[in-house]
Amino acid sequence: MIGKLACKLGSRMAAVTYSIIQVRRFLHDAHFRVQSSVQEALASGKPIVALESAIIAHGMPYPQNLSMARNVEEIVRTHGSVPATVGILNGKIHIGLNDEELHFLAKSENLVKVSRRDLPYVLSQGSSGGTTVSGTMIAAHKAGIHVFVTGGIGGVHRGGEITMDVSTDLTELGRTPVAVVSAGVKSILDIGRTLEFLETQGVCVAAFGESREFPAFFCRQSGFQAPYQVQNEEEAAKLIASILALGLSSGVLIAVPCPKEQAASGQIFEDAIQQALKEARSKGIIGKELTPFVLQRVNELTSGKSLDSNIALVQNNARVGSRIAVALGKLKKAQGKGNLPQSGRATAPQPVVIGGTNVDFIAKARNATMLVGGQTNTGKVSRTFGGVGRNLADCLSRLGRTPFFISAMGKDEHSESILRYCSHMDMGGVLQLEGHNTATYCAVITGSGELSLGLGDMDIHQQITEHYVSRYKQHLCMAPVVCIDGNVPIATIQYVCQIAREHQVPVSF
């Protein structure tokens, strides 16, 4: 029975592949537009750095905002990562912007400043806007991007203990697992109360570099110490990897001081901030309009010095963030698996998927009628990554319910390609065996789309044994659901069903 199921994978593959296409169409057509360079980076496991667009739409005047945005993206590329600037255009969340789209956000007026609260309304109205830290974190997490670079995050406003004016950036850091690289907190805010609020939200905060001094945007010193310190990008990458491996829902704040040569005099800026805040109070400016107003007035009162510092610190953050993303990518590769370290995952209830991983070769003839008897038919041959179990785990991962995937592969060039492609998945349960072939399937299809024949090399699936799967018994016992395909041995299916029955875990075959 199992052998027949394996041989029928060719016809079933079309349906499963169609489901993946449907998932991707949902992401693109419903709410998201992912730039091709970002798509390629996600598929191949290249390091990616998310960038916000509120700084373009609301944080700086034109044309400095546009040149800054272009320059920051180029810095990210220069230091080894793919930039993914996030913005809202005509009711769609764009992850990665082309130059025309950057220009639109930089020059357009009356754009919405989009945080978590604003996303549903802006999308429903088909509006455009720049994403704040919280809005960008949501988009980055949905796309599977772990590192996000900004200028400075929002925080508790001065007098916030009375007004309750607290930026949603802080609560987003407490519930979205993305690493935010910033120059600390904007100096116009109450930094002490902001750090206290981050502690309440369970956010890990670490100063980057030689000092534990927590930076204050324009200024390198704030008078407050960060709870922790990472001295370089490798230490920062290990910190991020640990948070992701633990399955925590909170993010991490990496606070990078502004370069010394562009750092501002604290007293000059404090005087300008106090003047700007006084003017804001007299004009009744509050809420999300307060920060852009104060930053603009501080820039005017300091004769442009604050804007110079702002641009310099964003560029510096881009350099640091890109290097952290590269170090995180190297750390993933060093694990010998396609994902981050999995220590601690056993205690987090993940769905479990058990099944086959294939490399599929689809050969489609040009003509509806094929020549037989050893003759060559013209057509096209393409390679995709399949396997019923792998496809299902991929779909769940892209929908934000990353499962623990148990499968088996050889240790060959095919497995290396699969691990790169599946970098967004939890591949901690995938067995790699020397001297075995990674499963491959070849389908020959006529020009009219009919399956002519299929050929499968799938012996490796028999290595997904009861003994191997039992290593992950704790995952099975705690899973909200277990999905298993027909490629695995019957004894393994029986073992999984027995464990699931004992612990009242639903099973999908």
**Has 52 been annotated as catalytic?**
yes
Residue spans of beta strands (DSSP E) within 74-178: 82-89, 92-95, 112-114, 129-131, 147-149
**Cα dihedral 416→420→426→428 (10° resolution):** 30
- 305-309, 310-314, 488-492: range with lowest mean pLDDT: 305-309
Q: What pLDDT score does 369 carry?
A: 85
Q: What pLDDT score does 346 carry?
A: 36
Q: Tell me the C-alpha distance between 377 and 365, whole Å.
A: 6
Please determine, for residue 336, whether its predicted confidence score (pLDDT) is greater than 50: no
Q: Over pLDDT 70: what percentage of the chain?
A: 88
- 69-83, 162-176, 301-315: range with lowest mean pLDDT: 301-315
Please determine, for residue 226, whether its predicted confidence score (pLDDT) is greater than 70: yes
Taking the domains of the chain in order of start, what are their residue ranges?
A: 2-18+339-508, 35-334
Q: What pLDDT score does 263 carry?
A: 64
Please determine, for residue 401, whether its predicted confidence score (pLDDT) is greater than 90: no
Please determine, for residue 2, whether its predicted confidence score (pLDDT) is greater than 60: no
Q: What pLDDT score does 344 carry?
A: 35
Q: Which residue is listed with tokens 């020959």?
A: 444
Look at phi and psi of residue 226 and say left if phi exceeds 0, alpha if psi is from -120 to 50, else beta.
beta
Q: Give the SS3 label for residue 493.
A: helix
DSSP for 224-285? Answer: -B-SEEE-SHHHHHHHHHHHHHHT-S--EEEE-PPPGGGPPPHHHHHHHHHHHHHHHHHHT-
Cβ-based burial of 426 (10 A; exposed 0-12, middle 13-18, buried ≥19): buried
C-beta of residue 83 within 8 angstroms of C-beta of residue 49: yes
Mean pLDDT of 173-196: 91
Please determine, for residue 274, whether its predicted confidence score (pLDDT) is greater than 80: no
Please determine, for residue 246, whether its predicted confidence score (pLDDT) is greater than 70: yes
Q: What pLDDT score does 264 carry?
A: 57
Q: What pLDDT score does 195 carry?
A: 95
* Paired residues of 360 in beta bridges: 384, 441
pLDDT in tens, 72-107: 999 999 999 999 999 999 999 999 999 999 999 999
Please determine, for residue 182, whether its predicted confidence score (pLDDT) is greater than 90: yes
Mean pLDDT of 454-472: 93
**DSSP code for 462:** G
Q: What pLDDT score does 506 carry?
A: 93
- Residues near 243 by beta carbon (within 8 Å), at least 6 away in sequence: 177, 179, 204, 250, 251, 252
Mean pLDDT of 464-489: 92
Domain 2-18+339-508 has CATH 3.40.1160.10: no
Q: What pLDDT score does 12 carry?
A: 40
Q: What pLDDT score does 24 carry?
A: 43
C-beta of residue 460 within 8 angstroms of C-beta of residue 438: yes
Q: What pLDDT score does 341 carry?
A: 42
Q: Give the SS3 label for residue 344.
A: coil
**DSSP code for 378:** -
Q: Tell me the C-alpha distance between 295 and 55, whole Å.
A: 11
DSSP for 178-238? Answer: -EEEESBB-TTB-HHHHHHHHHHTT-EEEEESS--BPPBTTBS--S-B-SEEE-SHHHHHH
Confidence of residue 296 (pLDDT cuts 50, 70, 90): confident
Please determine whether the domains at 2-18+339-508 and 35-334 fall in the same fold group of CATH. Answer: no
- Out of 52, 73, 101, 213, which one is annotated catalytic? 52
**Has 473 been annotated as catalytic?**
no
Please determine, for residue 337, whether its predicted confidence score (pLDDT) is greater than 60: no
Please determine, for residue 22, whether its predicted confidence score (pLDDT) is greater than 70: no
pTM to 2 decimals? 0.63
Q: Tell me the C-alpha distance between 327 and 110, whole Å.
A: 39
Q: Give the SS3 label for residue 64.
A: helix
Q: What pLDDT score does 304 carry?
A: 63
**DSSP code for 153:** B
- Out of 46, 142, 186, 337, which one is annotated catalytic? 186
Residue 372 — φ and ψ, nearest 5°?
-120, 180
Please determine, for residue 157, whether its predicted confidence score (pLDDT) is greater than 90: no
Q: What pLDDT score does 423 carry?
A: 86
- What are the tokens at 417? 């390609």
Q: Which fold has domain 35-334?
A: Indigoidine synthase fold (3.40.1790)
Mean pLDDT of 347-356: 82
Residues in the chain: 509
The average confidence (pLDDT) of the chain is 86
First to last CA, the chain: 14
**Residue, of 310 and 335, whose pLDDT is higher:** 310
